[in-house]
Amino acid sequence: MTALATPDTREDVNLNEAVTPDTPWQTVVWNDPVNLMSYVVRVLREYFGYPREVATRLMLAVHNEGHAVVAEGAREQMELHAQAMHDYGLWATIRKAPA
Total structural domains within the chain: 1
| pLDDT tens track for 10-35 | 555 555 455 555 679 999 999 999 99
Residue 53 sits in a domain whose CATH number is 3.30.1390.10
Please state, in angstroms and rounded to a whole number, the distance separating the CA atoms of residues 56 and 51.
9
Contacts of 33 (CB under 8 A, 6+ apart): 1, 2, 4
Decide if 82 is inside a domain. Answer: yes
pTM for the structure as a whole: 0.78
Given the DSSP bridges, would you call strands 67-73 and 91-96 parallel, antiparallel or unpaired?
unpaired
* Residue 49 in domain: yes
**39: in domain:** yes
CB 1 within 8 A of CB 31: yes
pLDDT tens, residue by residue, 81-90: 999 999 999 9
**Model confidence pLDDT, tens digit, residues 37-74:** 999 999 999 999 999 999 999 999 999 999 999 999 99
